[in-house]
Amino acid sequence: MPRVSRAETEKNRAAIERASSKLIREQGLGVSVADLMAAAGLTHGGFYGHFESKDELKAIACARAFAESVERWNKRVATADDAGAARSAIVEAYLSSYSRATPGASCPLAALAADVARENDGTPVREAFNDGLEQLVDILASLQDPAKPDAAAARDQALTQLSTLVGALMLARATRGKPISNELMAAAREHLQP
């Protein structure tokens, strides 16, 4: 069998990371290596040519999911007229029917929090999750009322807002198809508007 070129190897690894980032948000951290590789269009046998372990891939996929969220949030901030409008744009997108229906394309906080909580302390995926969480908190903290320059207060507000976003989206997904699902998102959106 011919050797795969370096470019093809890099392309395959990127495909695995991209597919894994989506699939772990859809199915959780327990998804099998075979399923992850199939989602990338590759065979199970090639996995260890790219990664030392499933734990390594889970951390990479988690970090990639957060990078996608950070990028989306930063775009919303950059196109908003002010901090309040940026926060509103984040809230509206986060608590949308699209986010509820597509966990594989939305925030890893709501998709992975329960799974990551079951991971042992110090595991790579926990570290990736915590790093990503801090990045999102920092973005929200930067969007707090500029009349209150206290960094600790801004962080506290951001933590409360992010907790509300994540909790509302998780509950809305769990009650999908029931009227309360829309009510949860609407109540959280109203509470979080500047």
**Residue 28 vs residues 20, 62, 126, 161, 181: alpha-carbon distances, Å:** 10, 11, 14, 24, 21
Residue 111 inside a domain? The answer is yes
What is the length of the chain? 194
Q: Is residue 69 assigned to a domain?
A: yes
Q: Is the pLDDT of residue 44 over 50?
A: yes
Residue 174 lies in a domain: yes
- Tokens for 133, please give them: 């969480």
Which of 2-6, 17-21, 168-172 has the least mean pLDDT?
2-6
Please report whether residue 23 resides in a domain.
no
In a domain, 114, yes or no: yes
For 175, the domain range is 54-192
Mean pLDDT of the chain: 92
Tell the residue number behind the tokens 């734990």, with chain if given: 55
The CA distance from 134 to 123, in Å, is 17
Predicted local distance difference test score (pLDDT) of residue 169: 98
Report residue 2's pLDDT band, with 50, 70 and 90 as the boundaries: low
pLDDT at 124: 96
Tokens of 100: 């509820």
Q: Does 20 map to a domain?
A: no
Q: Which SS3 state, helix, strand or coil, does residue 106 take? A: coil
Structure tokens at 55: 């734990």
In angstroms, the CA 72 to CA 191 distance is 22
Q: Region 25-51: what's the mean pLDDT?
A: 83
Give domain status of residue 151, yes or no.
yes
Q: What is the DSSP-derived secondary structure letter of residue 2? A: P
Is residue 111 a contact partner of residue 72, using CB atoms and an 8 Å limit? no
Is residue 17 included in any domain, yes or no?
Answer: no
What domain count does the chain have?
1
Q: Which tens digit of pLDDT belongs to each residue from 54-84?
A: 899 899 999 999 999 999 999 999 999 999 9
- CATH (domain of 159): 1.10.357.10
Residue 33 has pLDDT above 90, yes or no: no
